[in-house]
Amino acid sequence: MFELTDQPIDFAALRTRLARPDAGACVVFEGWVRNHHAGKPVSRLEYEAFDELARLEGEAITSEAEQEHPGCTVLCVHRTGSLGIGELAVWIGVVSPHRHAAFLACRQVIEEIKRRLPVWKKEHHSGNLAEWVNCTTESVAGRLAPENYYARQASLPEVGAAGQVRLAEASVLVVGAGGLGCPAALYLATSGVGRLTLADAGKVEVSNLHRQILFTADDVGAAKATVAAARLRAQNPLVKIEAHASDVTPANVRALVTGRTAVLDCTDNFATRFLLHDACRAAGVPLVSAAVYRFEGELNVFAPHQTGCLHCLWAGKPALSLETAANCDGGPVFAPTVGLLGVMQAAETLKLILGLSTPADLTSTRLVNLLDASTQSLERPADPTCPVCSKVVTSSAAEDGSFSLNTLNDSVVLTAEQVVDLGPVQTIALLEPGETLDAASAPANTMAIAMADLGRLREVAAKGPTVLTCRHGLRSVALARLLRAEGRPNIHALAGALSAIRPGR
């Protein structure tokens, strides 16, 4: 709620209007007329507003605060006319079940009122002198000089003042405000990306807190996108942060993606990944994608108009068939892994904006394992029959997504049922140092080979159709792609993790 008045503010009556039986906190801000400004004595103030526009903008500001901090009720009253020293010029009250949300909502309204409300004030000084003052110059953003905020970053020769301008002109969409999206969005915002949109329909849950660093226990139950946006605005008021607290769907993805400098896929499901990938490719927008499972992470940068796309990585596999086999949603995860991959996504996005990306950045899959501190960069092969990025359109897959045996032979990743359909195959369990294979619970005809022993792996694979598997289900896919790129089309990866592989002690 927002009101303009030319009468003295009755703060006691306003608090009574806000009273709620379920409210455990009431946070109040009072802006008084002071007797000085910028080193000059002030005798009184005059406030002037474009009433209709000010009421509309004020209502928008208070409504946004209520939406971004669920459970809060906001009331803001702003004076107009002539005010003496000590009089109330602005009164903001917020009630909420919990104090934390009320504090955040009140602070947001204070800063947005200063920044956006079309109100001007005239300061009267001694000797009948007076001058108009723009209220927005006193906001937090007004007090922050960009040359100071970004000084350490702009001092990099690869960035400089010109690079900082490019960042300020960029528009980035982050889909998923979770373990990946939180650190990615934080570093994009603090680096100075001018417009940043967070899209996530989820609510903050207790199980999120150990890795989703923009949220606190007081945020449980609140909309992720709106809470994250509020935190980022507080972190850097110089950039524009937008919240899209709903799902990305086929109906809205084009509008969300079009015109962006880059899009970050920070989701945990294949349906959205493929949707974003195809929309970005159609719109000519780079996509920075990451996935995490347990201690391992995978990072890809998909540049438009290049081969080696997401469909090449999961050749012949529609999104729905991957959901049950390789979905990260709800799976076990090591918190620093998602933090690191989110930071890597931010870094690759900033490099794209600044023109620092190398050809290898755009054609490689990077793998990280925090359990053994290892990293790998594998060339991302293009599927010559890919219906999305190749000029050759395959007809082996039916329109309904069903597959023939020829399609299975072409697929990199197969389910256990599809492996049976292939006929006799050699299954290889790829072992990291210290891991062992429980042969009794492993698929029939499974051989254990050390992950690093590529020579032995190539030797076995040369003898016939081979299916790779590993404890986490990520590196087997990556190595299958690598061997296929070497000209071994009979290599496949088993979708998902192999529980028969036991971790080292």
pLDDT tens for 150-194 read 999 999 999 999 999 999 999 999 999 999 999 999 999 999 999
Identify the H or E element spanning 326. helix 319-326
Kindly state whether residue 476 falls inside one of the protein's structural domains. yes
For residue 121, list its beta bridge partners: 47, 133
What's the chain's length in residues?
A: 505
Kindly state whether residue 393 falls inside one of the protein's structural domains. no
What pLDDT sits at residue 407? 41
The verdict on 92 and 192 lying in the same domain is no
Kindly state whether residue 401 falls inside one of the protein's structural domains. no
The verdict on 58 and 12 lying in the same domain is yes
Per-residue pLDDT tens over the stretch 22-63: 999 999 999 999 988 777 888 888 898 888 899 999 999 999
Query: Closest Cα partner for 473 from 322, 288, 309?
Result: 322
Kindly state whether residue 151 falls inside one of the protein's structural domains. yes
Determine contact, residues 130/118, Cβ cutoff 8 Å.
no
CB neighbours of residue 368 within 10 Å: 20
134 Cβ contact list (under 8 Å, min separation 6): 120
Give the alpha-carbon dihedral of 458, 472, 369, 329, to 10 degrees. Answer: 140
What pLDDT sits at residue 249? 86
The verdict on 83 and 162 lying in the same domain is no
d(CA 37, CA 123): 9
The verdict on 153 and 126 lying in the same domain is no
Q: What is the CATH number of the domain that holds 220?
A: 3.40.50.720
The verdict on 467 and 432 lying in the same domain is yes
Q: What is the CATH number of the domain that holds 42?
A: 3.90.1170.40
What pLDDT sits at residue 473? 65
Q: Which domain holds residue 274?
A: 146-379
Kindly state whether residue 328 falls inside one of the protein's structural domains. yes
What pLDDT sits at residue 461? 84
The verdict on 175 and 133 lying in the same domain is no
Q: What is the mean pLDDT of the chain?
A: 83
Query: Closest Cα partner for 275 from 261, 287, 262, 260?
Result: 287
What pLDDT sits at residue 397? 31
Kindly state whether residue 389 falls inside one of the protein's structural domains. no
The verdict on 170 and 83 lying in the same domain is no
CB neighbours of residue 153 within 10 Å: 17
Kindly state whether residue 370 falls inside one of the protein's structural domains. yes
The verdict on 341 and 373 lying in the same domain is yes
Number of domains in the chain: 3
The verdict on 128 and 167 lying in the same domain is no
Spell out the per-residue pLDDT of the chain, length 505, in tens.
999 999 999 999 999 999 999 999 999 999 999 988 777 888 888 898 888 899 999 999 999 889 888 889 999 999 999 998 999 999 999 999 988 889 888 988 987 888 788 888 888 877 667 776 655 545 455 567 888 899 999 999 999 999 999 999 999 999 999 999 999 999 999 999 999 999 999 989 999 999 999 998 878 888 899 889 989 988 998 999 998 988 888 888 889 998 899 999 999 887 788 889 988 988 889 999 999 988 999 999 999 888 888 888 876 554 444 444 444 455 678 999 999 999 999 999 999 999 999 888 988 899 999 998 888 888 888 888 777 776 533 333 333 333 333 444 556 777 777 788 777 888 999 887 778 888 888 887 888 998 778 788 888 888 888 998 887 666 677 677 667 766 777 888 887 668 788 775 4
What is the chain's percent helix, strand, coil content, to nearest 5?
35, 25, 35
What pLDDT sits at residue 135? 55
